[in-house]
Amino acid sequence: LASILDILSELSKDAAYPYAQGMLVESLRRMGHDPELVAVSEKVAAVQRRGLTDLLECAIDAGQVDATLDPDHTAGWLMTVVDACYLNAEPGHDPSPEVRRTAQGYLRPGYPKEPDHA
C-alpha cells in the first residue's frame, strides 16, 4: 500500500507547478495534431496503469486493500484522481496529501461494497 501511495504522490505533486494547468491544456490541444504525442502519452499511461494494477494485486493479496476492488479498474480510477489534480491545479499547492487521503479511504479493506450504477 505504501508504494501505491508514494507513486500517487509523485504523479500528483507537480500539479503545484505554476504552469501545470496551462501545460496540460496545451498538451491536450497538440494531441489533436500530433499522433506521436498521442502514442507516447498512451504508452506512458498504460505503463503507469499496469504498474499500479500490479501493486494493487499485491496489496489485495496482503490484505492491505479491499479485496472487492478490481485492480485494473481501481488503477484507472486512481489515475483519474491524479489527472484531476492537473485539471484543477492551484499554483503552489501540492495536492499529494489530498490524493493520498482519498486513495487510503477508497482502498481501505472492509468498506461496504456499493452497487454498480450501470
Q: Tens of pLDDT along 77-104?
A: 999 999 999 999 999 999 999 999 999 9
C-alpha cell at 91: 499554483
> In the predicted model, what is the mean pLDDT of residues 8-15?
96
Q: How far apart are CA 44 and CA 18, in angstroms?
A: 23
Share of the chain above pLDDT 90, in %: 85
What pLDDT is stored for residue 43 in this prediction? 98
CA 45/CA 78 separation, integer angstroms: 12
Percent helix, strand and coil across the chain, each to the nearest 5? 70, 0, 30
**Helix pair angle (71-87, 35-61), 10° resolution:** 130
CB crowding 54-65: b at 16 or more within 10 Å, else e: ebbeebbeeeeb
Task: Give this prediction's pTM.
Answer: 0.88
